[in-house]
Amino acid sequence: MFIESIILHNYRAYKGHNKTSFKQDAKNIFLVAGNNGFGKTTFLTSLVWCLYGKLMVDVDEKFRRDINDAQGYKNYARQSLHKELASVVNTYEASPEVRKRIIKHGYSSESEYIKKDAQYYVEISISDVFIPSIPCRTITIRRTYDYFLDTEFVEVLIDGQVNELAKDVGYDIFINDFILSKDIAKFFFFDAEKIVNLAEVKSLDEKRRLSTAYSEVLGIKKYEDIKRNLENLRLKFRKSAGSTASKAKLDRLQAGVDNLEAQIRTKEEERERVDNQIQQYRAEAVQLQERLIREGNAISVEDLKKQKELLITLKEKDSKLKSQLREMLDVAPFAISGKLFTDLMTQVIAEKKIKTTAASCAAINAALQLTQTQITERVSELKLTSLQKQAIERIIADVFANNIVETSVEDAAAIKVLVDFNDSESNEFQALFDNIRYSFNTLFKQLVKDIKNNALFMAKTQRKIVEAEYDDGNGDIKEIRMRKAEVDELLAQLDIQTRHLSEQIGTLNKDIKVLKKQLSEVAKHVRVDKADKEKDLIAERLIGELTTFLFELRAKRKFSLEKKIMAGIDVLMHKADFIHSVRIDLQNDIIEIELLDKAGEIISKEKLSKGEQQLYATAILNALVEESGIEFPVFIDSPLQKFDSIHSRNVITKFYPSVSKQVVIFPLLGKELSEDEYNVLLPNVNEVYIIENENGCSSFKKITPNKLFETLS
């Protein structure tokens, strides 16, 4: 798919008719640049709104928060009309009857002036769309909101005409099923600065929501849905055919499932409300912290953040060093025992020597005795007289008797067995002895020194943080500090509340699984009607085939995704072999992605810098888009936030040109995209638009790509 044009009409900062057109050729990157507040993020939001309307809450948590902050979708939509026009429309008066008449019959010539001011819309024209059974070249999607009437409607035109099939399906469903599913849209419309959320997922619920999106983009979810629908169909057959008792049992179990699902929805809504409160209080906490810094004339917020991150690192180091010290203290008694330890080693070596010698002698003697027996047996077979045979046997016995190996009686008597180590124990003790003899003292002294130095550094860092946050000599600061303490306490309580809700939801989900299993077992023993028997058998066969197929598909996707993510990391990160491999678990409803080092140990994602987390998340995004096989444009806001110069160059040269056939980025020029970085990007740049803003009204200005920074200077 390729987006040929986008129109923003009276949408937020974009007053009037504002159109961007994109031509399709070998260069796949398009820039829409502008200053903060001019409408870069608004442009990105407009596209999501155009495609999904009120369902945009399912695309990204940001949109959910924005709508919640507006106290509902209706208010959010009303706030999206350009402010000047909203003020004008608010002056228009009309009776409820007039409004109803307009809704039913449309605006009359007398009220057309209201429509002109009251409506805003976003329109997207897409080419290269494949829709089964519907031939098409271009699809145009327009979503309109009428501020005056408080109504929203969407239009979909295929090659400029209304398509009855698309209309019958429902335009929102059509867009979701044939253009881009809302569940995977976050991978195509994203804020590069916030993409680290992919790397920072912690809670079980966050993992579950993200896993749903992964399953969707990997093509797993649609087969799971088909399987679930077939299972429900078989249950329906049994409900309609079973006895009164079996029906009652099935109904009771199904009612139990429905009740638990309703409880989960209630808990999830409550948790969403709590999460919104957490976001609000966190924002207030940041503001209060900034005031503390500002009023106290202490270090900057960014420096304070770095100090806190440093403190976490120092505490982790302290824990690791003390753990090493405990391990060394376990063997310290050997180190301080001096000559006794050396004597013990001598004893172990002597015992091992005696055992080795005795074992060798026993083996030699056994071999000699066996050989003697075999020679004697062969001599007895010879045609000799009895005297001759006896003479030969005596000679053989004398010869072998002279060659029997005996251990030194003196050596054996001189060594008394005290420790009686086997070979493995002797080797381990030898290694311990060598370690203590050659390196223990040096390592122990260095470790104690490192612990002391780290403790001093940690105390110094803690002191810096305290000095930055507190200033008892100022009454205003005391007041701010008290409110900060209150907010921190509220956040702690809300965190406990949301964890408790998550646990409750987890328990309810487990209970549902139990009930569904019982439902399945009961259903097995209910016969279906003859009319449905063949359908039931087909459904059963398909469920079995789907189960096998899903197992194989997960294995295939797991292997492929691991390779693609690792390839992305290798390309984007400049730390050679820092991340050695990627491991993915796709077995359950939770998809886990783990990073491993050379030793196969898991690398904590929390230990990655923000820039490294963003690169890792970018590698995930690139892998998912590639693995999905979905050809849809990728839109990226804040494209180079958190990246250093080396990583920025990698992203510019390796990620943007390959992630999609059409990539639209929204940089803040100079800050998020320097002139040098742009020159590296330029060979892949197709078109450039600058967002201009005059008197609160934004518009697009198309400029020649190689003249961008000349235009700005």
SS (H, E, C) 521-583: HHHHCCCCCHHHHHHHHHHHHHHHHHHHHHHHHHHHHHHHHHHHHHHHHHHHCCCCCCCCEEE
Residue 328 Cα distances to 256, 337, 617, angstroms: 57, 15, 39
Each residue's pLDDT tens digit, 60-96: 878 888 888 888 888 899 999 998 899 888 888 777 7
Q: What is the pLDDT of residue 120?
A: 92
| Spatial contact of 389 and 382, defined as CB atoms under 8 Å apart | yes
Tokens of 259: 């009740």
List pLDDT tens digits, range 545-568.
Answer: 888 888 887 788 778 888 888 877
According to the model, what pLDDT value does residue 422 have?
66
Q: Please name the residue ranges forming H helices in 161-243.
A: 164-169, 171-174, 204-217, 221-241
pLDDT given for residue 121 in this prediction: 94
Task: Tell me the one-letter amino acid at 427.
Answer: N
Amino acid at 58: D
Record the tokens describing residue 509, joined without a space: 């989900």
pLDDT at 98 over 80: no
Residue recorded with tokens 């078109």: 687
Please compute the mean of the pLDDT values over residues 145-167 and round it to a whole number.
88
The DSSP string of 505-537 is: HHHHHHHHHHHHHHHHHHHHTSPPPHHHHHHHH
Query: 592-596 and 581-585 as β-strands: parallel, antiparallel, unpaired?
Result: antiparallel
- Written as one letter, the residue type at 17 is H
Pairing of strands 634-637, 2-11: unpaired
Question: For the residues 158-187, what does the mean pLDDT come to?
Answer: 84
For 163, the 3-state DSSP assignment is coil
Which residues make Cβ contacts (< 8 Å) with residue 699, sequence separation at least 6?
14, 16, 18, 691, 692, 693
What's the whole-number mean pLDDT along residues 98-110?
79
Share above pLDDT 90 across residues of the chain, in percent, rounded to a whole number: 7
Instruction: Report DSSP state, residue 132.
Output: T
Asked if 438 and 397 count as a contact pair (C-beta separation under 8 A), the reply is no
Note the pLDDT of residue 409: 44
Q: Is-above-0.75 flag for pTM? A: no
List pLDDT tens digits, range 320-342: 888 777 776 666 565 555 566 56
pLDDT band at 440 (very low <50, low <70, confident <90, very high): low
pLDDT band at 155 (very low <50, low <70, confident <90, very high): very high
The phi and psi torsions of 71 (rounded to 5 degrees) equal: 65, 45
Written as six digits, the tokens of 497 are 């509340």
Mean pLDDT of the 610-629 span: 75
Residue 19: pLDDT band (50, 70, 90) is very high
In the structure, what pLDDT confidence band is assigned to residue 583 with cuts at 50, 70 and 90? Answer: confident
pLDDT of 410 reads 47
User: For strand 634-637 and strand 189-191, is the pairing parallel, antiparallel, or unpaired?
Assistant: parallel
pLDDT at 574 over 80: no
Buried b (16+ CB within 10 A) or exposed e, 108-135: eeebeebeebbbbbbbbbbebbebeeee
Side-chain-side CA neighbours of 2 within 13 Å: the count stands at: 16
Strands 14-21 and 2-11: antiparallel
128-132, 225-229, 495-499, 626-630: segment of lowest average pLDDT: 626-630
Residues above pLDDT 70, as percent of the chain: 73
Quote the pLDDT of residue 103: 77
| pLDDT 10s digits, 516-525 | 777 777 776 6
